């Protein structure tokens, strides 16, 4: 709650709104206690007295009634009616929305078509019709305003409920013996409540305005009782001769609606999880680079050479050290595997190469990434952009979320090509067709016109690969490209990548958590744990003769087909959080060989040619003599 308030008041406009609205609320709450004149006593001898006169601070109206007193009483009434309408509309609308969204099917259809019919009438016309049917009066105006706002809540809440009702925790609740009423009240309601509050805070001002509108037309509060709308309506008759009678209630309506809306927007921004997660602070076009130490000298290893890379996430006071001192390189025609569990920093390493780590909060704090000798971390955004896709391309895990859902795949491929090369649409189209054929999509010609959702997962990932190949890059970074696919499809995609690399001399960095895939596809492999490389070497050597205890035990964890029924090896415990990395070896807490010396100081990576290990007590000694 205090976090919410802090967030809310960081928004200055919302704070102004809160102060204004708070003042008005306090004033109208204490109105009956204030030494004011009776708002309804007429005194025609003193009509149209201008403001700031003795005894009548805001003057009097056409019947000589005190404006200040009428204003405060009227505001009291208007606010009460507006808020009551908002609460009624929110309650009924949300109930309708939750029921429609939860039960779905025919119930949903009938309810929502009814709501649609309600929405088909122009707003004010519907309110007028309701008041005309019920007769004028403040209570009837309240009913009318609430009724016309029910569809807004119903539609909003139904949308949220539909997505929640498909979630697994609802199924779990049903299996735990909960009936429909219990599920709606105890499982769904707590999850939609923030949305209801947001919707209410943004519509309450509108409802106050509508009530005032009905009163202005003479359909709301009846004389002599004042509310803001009826004061304005009466003031209109003498707008030219005595403008103060309409300006006073007009200014009050303005202040109320403005402050409610400013505060409502603030509440929405502070509560909405999408905005909270940083949608308001759009990441920059490239990752921020703030290198503390000197840039490492080039050592001419490989086409893509990552040297001592350090990438961190700065979130408030916490620093997440996602990548620490990672060095990798890959030569043309070579496939380098990077293996690790979630949170080991393998994806952040890959994204750092082309400056794709979201910034803020990501910052590259050290090291260098060299493509053909040039340091990409020091490069300008323009130079980096010409290299993205043209020299170094990416393939991501989920092609459904990386392909744009509203464009045909052919157009997306052509766009990727035309970003880098000024060629005609016809030529780009021909090239797209060629690419789809290269990744072995059957009926490529007709597939060009498909939308991503019309393709199967395997086909989409082929399009993802085709897009990465679009500009003939030298390096492809593939981040778990087959994890979301079925095994039979995975086998085809892996074979395709292997063919492409042999045919075109591509350098591939392949990120995965699967040892089987690493064994089949890669030449060399780096094992990552808690943001560091713990072991590196030729794939068959690392797999057959792991040096780091983590590698050995991780391999043992993976069941292999053909082993029959058995108990699996497990590594107890969890990887450390990267904002609380231990001083020494990050694996020491889970390692059965750990000594005090492991925990005392950072462990260096000891090298021997291609082979490297970060361990004081490796499974076998690293042969320093042979190279």
Partner 1 sequence: MIALKVDNLSKTFALPRRLFGPARPGVRAVRPVSFQVEKGETLGIVGESGCGKSTFARMLVGLLEPTTGRIEIAGKALDTADPAAFGRLIQYVFQDPISSLNPRKTIRQIMETPLRLLHGMTRADRAARIAEIFDSVNLREEFLDRYPHEFSGGQAQRIGIARALAAAPEIIVLDEPVSALDVSVQAQVLNLLADLRAEFDLTYLFISHDLAVVEAVSDRVVVLYFGAVVEIGRAESIFNAPRHPYTRLLADSAPVVGRPLTAPEQRDTELPDPLNPPPGCAFAGRCPRATEICRAQDPPLTQMGDDQLAACHHPLDP
Q: Which of 240, 568 has the CB closer to partner 1?
A: 568
Percentages of the chain per state (helix, strand, coil), in multiples of 5: 50, 15, 35
User: Does 454 help bind partner 1 (rule: CB under 8 A)?
Assistant: no
- Can you tell me the distance from the alpha carbon of 578 to that of 593, in angstroms, rounded to the nearest whole number? 22
Give the range of 49-57, 113-121, 347-355, 507-515 binding partner 1 by CB under 8 A: 507-515
Q: Return the H-helix or E-strand segment holding 608.
A: strand 606-608
Q: Is 426 exposed, middle or buried (0-12, 13-18, 19+ CB in 10 A)?
A: exposed
CB–CB of 543/519 below 8 Å? yes
CB–CB of 537/612 below 8 Å? yes
Question: Minimum distance between the CB of residue 164 and partner 1, rounded to whole angstroms?
Answer: 10
- In the numeric block, which tokens belong to residue 345? 């920093």
User: Does 594 help bind partner 1 (rule: CB under 8 A)?
Assistant: no
User: Does 280 help bind partner 1 (rule: CB under 8 A)?
Assistant: no
User: Does 566 help bind partner 1 (rule: CB under 8 A)?
Assistant: yes
Regarding beta strands 611-613 and 532-538, do their DSSP bridges make them parallel or antiparallel, or are they unpaired?
antiparallel
DSSP 33-56: GS----TT---GGGTTPPSSBTTB
CB–CB of 479/427 below 8 Å? no
Interface residue with partner 1 among 571, 581, 589, 605 (CB under 8 A) is: 571
Interface residue with partner 1 among 37, 47, 174, 408 (CB under 8 A) is: 174
Question: Minimum distance between the CB of residue 527 and partner 1, rounded to whole angstroms?
Answer: 12
Question: Minimum distance between the CB of residue 519 and partner 1, rounded to whole angstroms?
Answer: 4
CB–CB of 302/322 below 8 Å? no
CB–CB of 63/193 below 8 Å? no
CB–CB of 372/302 below 8 Å? no
Interface residue with partner 1 among 136, 218, 296, 516 (CB under 8 A) is: 516
User: With contacts defined by CB under 8 A, how many residues of the chain interact with partner 1?
Assistant: 59
> Beta strands of 331-425 (E only): which ranges?
335-339, 362-371, 374-375, 392-395
Interface residue with partner 1 among 486, 503, 610, 620 (CB under 8 A) is: 486
Angle, helices 138-165/123-134, rounded to nearest 10 degrees: 130
* Residues whose CB is less than 8 angstroms from the CB of residue 156 and which lie 6 or more positions away in sequence, other chains included: 93, 97, 195, 199
Interface residue with partner 1 among 106, 292, 567, 580 (CB under 8 A) is: 567
CB–CB of 413/466 below 8 Å? yes
Q: Return the H-helix or E-strand segment holding 211.
A: helix 189-216
Q: Which of 137, 457 has the CB closer to partner 1?
A: 457
Q: Is 261 exposed, middle or buried (0-12, 13-18, 19+ CB in 10 A)?
A: buried
Give the range of 150-158, 407-415, 516-524, 607-615 binding partner 1 by CB under 8 A: 516-524
Interface residue with partner 1 among 440, 504, 538, 552 (CB under 8 A) is: 440
- In the numeric block, which tokens belong to residue 584? 């020494």
- Can you tell me the distance from the alpha carbon of 417 to that of 425, in angstroms, rounded to the nearest whole number? 10
Preceding amide of 360 cis, omega within 30: yes
Q: Is 622 exposed, middle or buried (0-12, 13-18, 19+ CB in 10 A)?
A: middle
Question: Minimum distance between the CB of residue 191 and partner 1, rounded to whole angstroms?
Answer: 6
Binding mask 75-114 for partner 1 (x = CB under 8 A): ----------------------------------------
Q: Which of helix, strand or coil describes residue 355?
A: coil
Binding mask 177-216 for partner 1 (x = CB under 8 A): xx--------x--xx-------------------------
CA-closest candidate to residue 455, choices 472, 436, 438: 436
Interface residue with partner 1 among 280, 406, 495, 601 (CB under 8 A) is: 495
Q: Return the H-helix or E-strand segment holding 550.
A: helix 549-557
Interface residue with partner 1 among 1, 120, 561, 621 (CB under 8 A) is: 561
Residues 376-435 that bind partner 1 (CB under 8 A): none
User: Does 524 help bind partner 1 (rule: CB under 8 A)?
Assistant: no
Q: Which of 369, 497 has the CB closer to partner 1?
A: 497
Binding mask 541-560 for partner 1 (x = CB under 8 A): --x---------xx--xxxx
Interface residue with partner 1 among 13, 87, 128, 173 (CB under 8 A) is: 173
Q: Which of helix, strand or coil describes residue 362?
A: strand
H helical segments located in 104-188: 105-120, 123-134, 138-165, 168-175, 180-182
User: Does 456 help bind partner 1 (rule: CB under 8 A)?
Assistant: yes
Q: Which of helix, strand or coil describes residue 327?
A: strand
Q: Which of 285, 574 has the CB closer to partner 1?
A: 574
User: Does 341 help bind partner 1 (rule: CB under 8 A)?
Assistant: yes
Q: Which of 126, 543 has the CB closer to partner 1?
A: 543
Interface residue with partner 1 among 52, 121, 169, 617 (CB under 8 A) is: 169
Q: Which of 554, 578 has the CB closer to partner 1?
A: 554
Interface residue with partner 1 among 172, 185, 280, 285 (CB under 8 A) is: 172
Interface residue with partner 1 among 297, 563, 580, 625 (CB under 8 A) is: 563
Give the range of 165-173, 202-210, 229-237, 446-454 binding partner 1 by CB under 8 A: 165-173
Binding mask 347-376 for partner 1 (x = CB under 8 A): ------------------------------
Q: Which of 119, 519 has the CB closer to partner 1?
A: 519
User: Does 278 help bind partner 1 (rule: CB under 8 A)?
Assistant: no
Angle, helices 244-271/12-29, rounded to nearest 10 degrees: 130
CA-closest candidate to residue 304, choices 384, 180, 392, 215: 392
Q: Which of 174, 385 has the CB closer to partner 1?
A: 174
User: Does 494 help bind partner 1 (rule: CB under 8 A)?
Assistant: yes
Q: Which of 139, 558 has the CB closer to partner 1?
A: 558
Question: Minimum distance between the CB of residue 64 and partner 1, rounded to whole angstroms?
Answer: 57
User: Does 490 help bind partner 1 (rule: CB under 8 A)?
Assistant: yes
Give the range of 41-49, 161-169, 299-307, 393-401 binding partner 1 by CB under 8 A: 161-169
User: Does 587 help bind partner 1 (rule: CB under 8 A)?
Assistant: no
Interface residue with partner 1 among 148, 521, 528, 615 (CB under 8 A) is: 521
DSSP 102-121: HH-HHHHHHHHHHHHHHHHS
| Chain residues in the site for partner 1 (CB under 8 A) | 167-169, 171-178, 187, 190-191, 341-342, 440, 442, 456-457, 486-492, 494-496, 498, 513-517, 519-521, 543, 553-554, 557-572, 574
């Amino acid at each position: 709650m205090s976090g919410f308030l802090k967030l809310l008041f960081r928004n200055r406009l919302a704070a102004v709104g809160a102060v204004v609205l708070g003042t008005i609320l306090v004033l109208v709450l204490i109105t009956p206690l204030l030494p004011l004149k009776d708002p309804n006593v007429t005194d025609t001898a003193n009509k149209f007295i201008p403001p700031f006169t003795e005894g009548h601070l805001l003057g009097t109206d056409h019947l000589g009634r005190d404006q200040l007193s009428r204003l405060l009483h009227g505001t009291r009434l208007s606010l009460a009616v507006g808020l009551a309408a908002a609460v009624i509309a929110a309650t009924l609308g949300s109930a309708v929305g939750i029921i429609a969204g939860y039960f779905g099917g025919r119930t949903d259809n009938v309810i929502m078509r009814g709501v649609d019919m309600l929405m088909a009438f122009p707003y004010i016309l519907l309110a007028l019709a309701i008041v005309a049917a019920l007769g004028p009066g403040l209570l009837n105006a309240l009913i009318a305003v609430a009724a016309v706002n029910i569809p807004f809540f119903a539609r909003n809440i139904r949308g949220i409920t539909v997505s929640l009702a498909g979630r697994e925790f609802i199924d779990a609740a049903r299996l735990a013996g909960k009936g429909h009423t219990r599920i709606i009240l105890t499982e769904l309601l707590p999850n939609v409540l923030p949305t209801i509050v947001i919707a209410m805070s943004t519509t309450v001002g509108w409802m106050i305005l509508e009530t005032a509108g009905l009163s202005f037309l003479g359909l709301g509060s009846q004389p002599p009782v004042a509310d803001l709308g009826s004061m304005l309506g009466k003031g209109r008759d003498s707008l030219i001769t005595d403008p103060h009678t309409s300006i006073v209630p007009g200014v009050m309506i303005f202040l109320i609606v403005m402050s409610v809306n400013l505060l409502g927007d603030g509440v929405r921004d502070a509560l909405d999880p999408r905005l909270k997660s940083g949608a308001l602070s759009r990441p920059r076009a490239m990752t921020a680079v703030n290198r503390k130490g000197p840039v490492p000298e080039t050592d001419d290893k490989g086409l893509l050479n990552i040297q001592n890379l350090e990438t961190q996430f700065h979130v408030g006071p916490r620093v997440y050290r996602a990548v620490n001192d990672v060095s990798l390189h890959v030569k043309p025609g070579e496939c380098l595997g990077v293996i690790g569990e979630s949170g080991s920093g393998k994806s952040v390493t890959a994204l750092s190469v082309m400056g794709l780590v979201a910034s803020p909060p990501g910052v590259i704090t050290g090291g260098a990434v060299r493509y053909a000798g040039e340091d990409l971390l020091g490069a300008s955004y323009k130079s980096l952009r010409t290299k993205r896709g043209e020299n170094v391309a990416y393939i991501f895990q989920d092609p459904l979320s990386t392909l744009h859902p509203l464009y045909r795949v052919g157009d997306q491929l052509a766009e990727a090509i035309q970003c880098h090369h000024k060629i005609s649409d016809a030529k780009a189209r021909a090239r797209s067709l060629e690419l789809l054929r290269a990744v072995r999509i059957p009926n490529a010609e007709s597939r060009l016109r498909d939308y991503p959702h019309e393709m199967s997962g395997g086909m989409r990932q082929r399009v993802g690969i085709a897009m990465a190949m679009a500009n003939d890059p030298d390096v492809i970074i593939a981040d778990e490209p087959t994890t979301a696919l079925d095994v039979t499809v995975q086998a085809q995609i892996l074979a395709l990548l292997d063919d492409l690399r042999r045919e075109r001399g591509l350098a591939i960095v392949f990120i995965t958590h699967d040892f089987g895939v690493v064994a089949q596809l890669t030449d060399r492999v780096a094992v990552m744990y808690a943001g560091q490389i713990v072991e590196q070497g030729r794939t068959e050597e690392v797999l057959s003769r792991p040096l780091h205890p983590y590698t050995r035990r991780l391999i043992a964890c993976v069941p292999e087909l053909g082993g029959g029924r058995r108990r699996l090896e497990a590594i107890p415990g969890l990887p450390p959080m990267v904002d609380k990395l231990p001083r020494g070896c990050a694996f020491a807490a889970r390692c059965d060989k750990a000594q005090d010396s492991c925990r005392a100081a950072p462990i260096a990576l000891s090298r021997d040619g291609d082979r490297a290990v970060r361990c004081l007590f490796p499974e076998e000694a690293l042969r320093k003599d042979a190279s």
